[in-house]
Structure 1
């Protein structure tokens, strides 16, 4: 399975058929130096929280870092930093949708995530890591001091130990949100906002003002309009409208797999032709956009890219290490993805089923 996934997603990267000598040599040197530095720090600073935790899980961490699989997000930044000549980052391309939802009466707290990626990446392994971590009261400060300034993102930490079903008092530290850029990191306890609005959405637009401004987002807003804003981008509006429909795990899954772009006015792209766009949904289906359409920027084009899974858990599920998961692009309101009938049938998809039409499965670890 790992071999097939490698062939589908990484084959040809830095050889054997395409080899950009300066970039690939710089990448190799960077990775080797970074790995050696990590190993040195683990040995020298085992008494510090950050390096203690990495040292305890070092076999897993170092094994994964020696391959390229775990560097997918980092490579986006490294290609630019190391001057890869054909680095192509699609403007506006989303990475994920996420939602933290407090149910009516505060009876449950649901957490869900949808990966957005290329369809070639859809061979998946569900993993459970057991790591001997220890708690640190200054965890975010530790992360800030060790930030590598790559795969910059919004990170959400839900501490289910703080959640008390049915209680109205806001528990401090239940939801912590962190956003990062090179040289800049901002975080805050957003538990109060979660209890006030009953939901926290995430959709690849910075929440904190300093991160939003430093990211270059205001320039994109000036050029392309509301699509690049925090509150008016399509996913923000869909989450705001539809989160009230969530009352249990099945309805949460329906929202996280939602894509009704042909009929939903919030999925329209005013400067596109045609105007309905499969990117503008909680679980994108960019493959359904016409190849001969006209679009203002790259993310709106036809691409072999979209929501490729859905995972959801709850307070009660988390106690038993349980979750629901489904693999493949959504097919709730749109046709299921099929390689043989898609515009991308010539792309390598070794080990994939032809038709991606699967129901969620219950994952349970003892």
Structure 2
């Protein structure tokens, strides 16, 4: 920012501050738009509730809490490229922390509040790891961001998180809410926690301990995904279904539009992924599901493959590595192609939150034309190893790519320890014979429009579908064995060969789909809550999970699909 700009800002700030109103909770289903102006005298951001002149505000945002109406809240933030990248990132985080304050607090109460209760030893080890890792990351990006696009974007991620904490605390002055000793980094490592729990508390994994309430769990499937080429290559649909604990169902559809540069040099080009929309959670700076539609023309998504090889945990270190969510957001910002995405994501691999990533490059898709090389890349990750490949040929030959928490690449499959699970439990842990693989293979040909795609992804007929059968279960089926799981419907007094198939507050908690036309405007269609296509809708008051915190949730989860509609 030049001196003349600073002077103009200071001269006008006193007038703008007259319109500043104190923090107010946003009434449900009502929208609020706010702007962040930087007060240089006090070196802090100030909330302004009407639109200032373009050159006066660093960022603007709109928030709508419509969870009881649609199953989703909506948050959109945009920044002003006339200001430095660091200031833009902090302002974007500040507005999100401030405007979504209440939902962040609800999510904390439902998923994180008691995470360390009775687990002091585990959490002490985790805090030490995170502290050491954060110090190393801060050192590296301050040293290298001036010339490295990768490290500049890492730095901006942490600065956006810093801004989010500041905005949340500003709102907390009026609400009195507190999240104790948990910082926003805890929200942003919910996937990495799967490995941390196995590393730092292996003796407790076999006890009655709700491992990682805000994320995944060892040996438990999480997420289904499908990429489907329509007949005559008229379109490609990219879809993702999150599987998670029902406590996590406070969800936000987000769009970030940040006018930041590839390096700290403001003369460098804007990042390819300057704008992106995604399904997410309160307090997260990335999707976490993951499902992201990006201005570069890419769509990135994943399903978790996990790591059951304990020998690999020794390679997870607090220095030299960057946690998964940070790397995924940096790749989303910097990459213009699927190959670039995999290259960026593979840097400083942490070996935590191990997933099968799928990257679709819609720039290479032309309706009615043959699929071009590079359109579809797949990456799988474990500690010490990342394998990626252009898999467009599979879409050409089969017209679809399914994903369901099983590694595809043989090297990853074998190194992950999955063969031992196959030997112990059978086909459920294989790549090609697990129930969802068989269901996708049988039913994907029925997809010919958006309605049939959503029906495919919300499918669960576990009592009647022979592919959902579980011979070692009593009764002989499981709501886990479907594209959209409903484990709450499994009998609590049933018997199951392993935990994933049992009665629990876990299942598919959403569905997202985009298409060639939708993604051109960074839009997608989303459905909130567990599937009810051929099943009763989930209702907290009729479940046996009412002792689980679900503050801020609607009682009945029965919502129709909604299409995103962004301000910008």
Q: TM-score, normalised by structure 2?
A: 0.61
C-alpha offsets along residues 309-360 of structure 1, whole Å, 9 cap, x if unaligned? 0111111100112111111100001100011111112211111111111111
Asked if residue 282 in structure 1 is aligned to residue 483 in structure 2, the reply is: yes
Distance in 2 between residues matched to 1:353 and 1:267, nearest whole Å: 29
2:191 is aligned to 73
1:83 Cα shift? Answer: 2.9
Moved more, 258-267 or 82-91: 82-91
Distance in 2 between residues matched to 1:311 and 1:173, nearest whole Å: 23
Counterparts of residues 252-291 of structure 1 (less than 5 Å) = 252-291=453-492
1:193 corresponds to which of 377, 394, 402: 394
2:105 is aligned to 3
Aligned partner of residue 242 in structure 2, secondary structure: strand
Distance in 2 between residues matched to 1:141 and 1:316, nearest whole Å: 27
Maintained 8 Å contact 1:91/1:299:
no
Task: Indicate the structure (1 or 2) with the bigger Cα radius of gyration.
Answer: 2
1:114 Cα shift? Answer: 0.6
Distance in 2 between residues matched to 1:66 and 1:272, nearest whole Å: 40
1:351 is aligned to 552
Maintained 8 Å contact 2:335/2:344:
no
Aligned partner of residue 128 in structure 1, secondary structure: strand
Counterparts of residues 1-366 of structure 1 (less than 5 Å) = 1-14=103-116, 18-46=117-145, 47-61=147-161, 66-83=184-201, 85-87=203-205, 92-131=219-258, 132=271, 133-135=333-335, 138-168=340-370, 170-365=371-566, 366=568
Distance in 2 between residues matched to 1:210 and 1:61, nearest whole Å: 36
Distance in 2 between residues matched to 1:55 and 1:342, nearest whole Å: 44
Q: Report the count of equivalent residues.
A: 362
Moved more, 61-70 or 220-229: 61-70
1:142 Cα shift? Answer: 3.7
Q: Runs of 4+ in structure 1 displaced over 3 angstroms?
A: 55-58, 61-67, 87-92, 131-139
Maintained 8 Å contact 2:334/2:341:
no
Q: Which runs of 5+ in 2 are unaligned?
A: 1-102, 165-182, 212-216, 259-270, 272-332
1:362 Cα shift? Answer: 1.0
1:22 Cα shift? Answer: 2.5
1:272 Cα shift? Answer: 0.8
C-alpha offsets along residues 136-195 of structure 1, whole Å, 9 cap, x if unaligned? 765433432311110011111111111111102x31211110001111111100011112
C-alpha offsets along residues 88-113 of structure 1, whole Å, 9 cap, x if unaligned? 56564111001111100101011111
1:85 Cα shift? Answer: 4.9
Q: TM-score, normalised by structure 1?
A: 0.94
C-alpha offsets along residues 112-131 of structure 1, whole Å, 9 cap, x if unaligned? 11110000110111111234
Distance in 1 between residues matched to 2:452 and 2:412, nearest whole Å: 32
Maintained 8 Å contact 1:91/1:297:
no
1:45 Cα shift? Answer: 1.9
C-alpha offsets along residues 183-239 of structure 1, whole Å, 9 cap, x if unaligned? 111110001111211101110000000000011111111111111110010000110
Distance in 1 between residues matched to 2:105 and 2:156, nearest whole Å: 28
What value does the CA root-mean-square deviation take over the aligned residues? 1.8
Distance in 2 between residues matched to 1:194 and 1:355, nearest whole Å: 38
Distance in 2 between residues matched to 1:246 and 1:236, nearest whole Å: 16
1:35 Cα shift? Answer: 1.6
1:242 Cα shift? Answer: 0.8
Which structure carries more relative contact order (alpha carbon 8 Å, separation 6+)? Answer: 1
Distance in 2 between residues matched to 1:82 and 1:151, nearest whole Å: 15
1:49 Cα shift? Answer: 3.5
C-alpha offsets along residues 3-28 of structure 1, whole Å, 9 cap, x if unaligned? 111101111122xxx24332222211
